[in-house]
């Protein structure tokens, strides 16, 4: 989070929507941009309500137009996903108001209640001890198992807020070699991915394609970007707990092993006890891990790896993902 800015830097249309419709009568005290979003503008708002003694905080998310190889959920779909997840005791941010089409603010917008917590990525980067790392992993694994307990009518991308996927929408995730090839063809010709790494990516996709028949037809809620940056944690009574899972715009219906592959993408950078705790928590929450779960989860994560490696947000993240690719190939 960066230094707070004067309220006057909030554009007039958004300011009016917040104070007249989303939070009627509220006084905006501070506005501060939040870092971490690659495809959205995130803002922390400190607000005083006329009938409240203290200040309250909210997070405003403005969607930015972006070209993505994965379909991104609309505001209406994301609100429905959050409601369904919350009903399964998944900790999420409560939506306070929405301008789904951006008719008022100029861009689609969601206003959430602020949730206390520290990004899991930050805690892991600080090098927690073995017991603490196992406790963290167990808490995260149990929450992911709860997400996977949300059953949907069929696999695929959500068509609308009914959360009934379009029957033809899972074609992208049915063809791993085809998806990888499209990423390589449409990636920047002067991108950092080498010819050797491109060949490795193609080979892994061809080799893993048949293995994915084992999860074809699964219809569980998948977060789609379940990485430590999107998981907030906090100590409660001496134990780590997940306070919120953020950013559901890539959620779809499929196999929970997508999310397992995502959260363990950089497991080599974490204390081994985190992975041990995560697997214990996932199984303890009735998450299913088949005998070949590691191969399947890494293969499913190739969809994300191909996308990131051919359109990286920055050089540092590209280097980390390339290392994950090479470890997957070596494994």
Query: What are the sequence ranges of the domains in the chain?
Result: 7-113, 118-330
The CATH number of the structural domain formed by 7-113 is: 3.30.200.20
pLDDT, tens digit (0-9, with 9 covering 90-100), for 179-202:
999 999 998 888 899 999 999 999
CA–CA gap between residue 226 and residue 262 (Å, rounded): 6
Task: Identify the residue with better confidence: 35 or 315.
Answer: 315
What pLDDT is attached to residue 111? 97
Residue at token pair 């070949």: 292
pLDDT, tens digit (0-9, with 9 covering 90-100), for 77-99:
999 999 999 999 999 999 999 99
The CATH number of the structural domain formed by 118-330 is: 3.90.1200.10
Q: What is the mean pLDDT of residues 39-66?
A: 86
Q: What is the mean pLDDT of residues 283-292?
A: 96
CA–CA gap between residue 175 and residue 285 (Å, rounded): 30
Beta bridge partners of 154: none
Beta bridge partners of 253: 156, 221
CA–CA gap between residue 245 and residue 234 (Å, rounded): 12
Cα torsion 91, 96, 100, 103 to 10°: value is -160
pLDDT, tens digit (0-9, with 9 covering 90-100), for 291-311:
999 999 999 999 999 999 999
Half-sphere exposure of 271 (CA within 13 A, CB side): 20
Which secondary-structure segment (H or E) carries 58? strand 55-63
What pLDDT is attached to residue 170? 58
Tokens of 283: 């199984």
1 has a pLDDT exceeding 50 = no
What pLDDT is attached to residue 248? 96
Confidence of residue 2 (pLDDT cuts 50, 70, 90): very low
181-187 long-range CB contacts below 8 Å, 24 or more apart?
Answer: 181/205, 182/69, 183/69, 183/306, 183/307, 183/309, 183/310, 183/311, 184/306, 184/310, 186/69, 186/310, 187/309, 187/310, 187/311
What pLDDT is attached to residue 3? 45
pTM score over 0.75: yes
CA–CA gap between residue 267 and residue 240 (Å, rounded): 19
**What is the average pLDDT value for the chain, to the nearest integer?**
91
Tokens of 102: 């951006």
């Amino acid at each position: 989070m960066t230094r707070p800015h004067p309220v006057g830097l909030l554009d007039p249309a958004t300011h009016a929507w917040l104070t007249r419709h989303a939070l009627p009568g509220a006084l905006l005290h501070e506005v501060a941009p939040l870092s971490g979003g690659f495809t959205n503008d995130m803002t922390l708002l400190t607000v005083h309500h006329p009938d409240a003694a203290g200040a309250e905080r909210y997070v405003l998310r403005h969607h930015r137009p972006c070209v993505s190889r994965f379909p991104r959920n609309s505001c209406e779909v994301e609100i429905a996903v959050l409601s369904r997840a919350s009903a399964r005791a998944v900790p999420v941010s409560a939506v306070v108001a929405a301008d789904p089409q951006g008719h008022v603010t100029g861009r689609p917008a969601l206003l959430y209640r602020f949730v206390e917590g520290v990004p899991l990525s930050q805690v892991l980067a600080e090098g927690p001890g073995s017991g603490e790392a196992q406790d963290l992993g167990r808490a995260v694994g149990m929450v992911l198992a709860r997400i996977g307990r949300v059953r949907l009518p069929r696999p695929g991308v959500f068509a609308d807020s009914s959360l009934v996927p379009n029957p033809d929408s899972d074609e992208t995730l049915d063809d791993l070699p085809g998806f990888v090839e499209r990423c390589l063809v449409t990636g920047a010709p002067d991108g950092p991915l080498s010819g050797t790494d491109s060949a490795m990516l193609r080979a892994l996709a061809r080799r893993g394609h048949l293995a994915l028949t084992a999860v074809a037809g699964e219809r569980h809620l998948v977060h789609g970007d379940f990485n430590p940056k999107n998981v907030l944690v906090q100590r409660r009574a001496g134990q780590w707990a997940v306070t919120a899972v953020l950013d559901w715009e890539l959620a779809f219906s499929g196999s929970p092993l997508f999310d397992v592959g995502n959260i363990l993408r950089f497991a080599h950078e974490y204390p081994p006890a985190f992975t041990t705790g995560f697997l214990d928590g996932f199984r303890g929450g009735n998450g299913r891990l088949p005998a070949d779960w590691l191969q399947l989860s890494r293969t499913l994560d190739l969809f994300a790896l191909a996308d990131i490696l051919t359109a990286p947000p920055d050089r540092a993240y590209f280097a980390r993902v390339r290392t994950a690719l090479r470890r997957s190939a070596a494994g």
